[in-house]
Amino acid sequence: MPVTWILRFLGDNYSDCFVYSANELGLVLPSKIMDAATAAAMWEEANTPLRAQRIILRHLKFFFWRRITVPESHIRVLEEGGLPPITGTVVIDKKDIHYWYKRIDDVVLERIKLELKFREKDFFKNRGYDSLDIVFGGDHGNRRFRSVIRLIFRNSTNCEVEPYYVTQTIGSIECAKDSREILENTIAGPLNEGLQRIMNYVICTDDYIMFSDDRTESCNWDFRLKKVICGDLAFFATILGKENMSSTWCTVITITGTRECQGH
């Protein structure tokens, strides 16, 4: 039926909006499973011990007939060797805003360490990966602002080598609408400080992985770093301090000197 096809298309391509609209209509849908970082942030903020976590999840699973978080083993990875999220709550416009984040520089080093451990160093050396793009971005959807980074390993001398990339969530804010005030009072400061601590190179040896401003002869190999910010126009306007600005101050108009893009 045409209606079924349309609904399937909307669900596949606009899942967040589709689930939100269905919830508003009171329809029961199998929603997304909570990821490990979000689940760990929830248990840490609630100061819930392991035994209580298992009891709560058992009752929820019995009632909803499905799992609502990733398996416990995924969450334990964060505690045993990963990076647990830092949680917090602020009050803005008389509303509690809950959030969590991870230090970007720690996430980058930890992720490289895990990739070298599980994919092994030869995977990167044989492909000649010597450059690493750190793409930082964020977007709001389904009453939550999410910040992510994508690490893209490249061979800077041979463009025919396919890049390898991994994506990781580094921050989340529960809010009906993102704004500069909310970002400034929650995760923007720590994330910006983390980006500033990232230097020009990642130095890799058999014993450690670290940031450095210059190459060193003692390292096995290194990655040249490049930081990139990615997002929609609303996100760029917010981080540039031009939220709700007049079109007179449009960034594109300022750069190009033409007003042909008004109304974009």
* First-to-final CA distance of the chain: 36
pLDDT (tens digit, 9 = 90+) per residue, 131-145? 889 999 888 887 888
In this prediction, residue 264 has a pLDDT band, given cuts at 50, 70 and 90, of: very low
Task: Say which range, 34-43, 203-212, 246-255, has the weakest mean pLDDT.
Answer: 246-255
Predicted TM-score (pTM) above 0.75: no
Question: Given a cut of 80, is residue 198 above it in pLDDT?
Answer: yes
Q: DSSP strand E in the chain: where? A: 86-92, 95-101, 131-141, 144-154, 164-174, 201-204, 209-212, 221-230
pLDDT at 163: 92
Summary mean pLDDT of the chain: 79
Query: CA 237, 239, 241, 244: dihedral to nearest 10 degrees?
Result: 40
241 phi-psi bin (left φ>0, alpha ψ -120 to 50, beta other): left
pLDDT at 226: 87
Could you identify the residue written with the tokens 């992720």?
111
Which of the two residues, 232 and 55, has the higher pLDDT score? 55
Which residues have C-beta within 8 Å of that of residue 218, sequence separation ≥ 6?
Answer: 205
Percentage of the chain beyond pLDDT 70 is: 83
Task: Say which range, 28-32, 66-70, 135-139, 161-165, has the weakest mean pLDDT.
Answer: 28-32
Residue 121 contacts residue 216 (beta carbons within 8 Å)? no
pLDDT (tens digit, 9 = 90+) per residue, 134-175? 999 888 887 888 898 999 999 988 989 999 888 888 899 988
pLDDT at 78: 62
Which of the two residues, 41 and 183, has the higher pLDDT score? 183
Question: Given a cut of 50, is residue 61 above it in pLDDT?
Answer: yes
In this prediction, residue 101 has a pLDDT band, given cuts at 50, 70 and 90, of: very high
pLDDT at 186: 92
Percentage of the chain beyond pLDDT 90 is: 10
Which of the two residues, 237 and 261, has the higher pLDDT score? 237
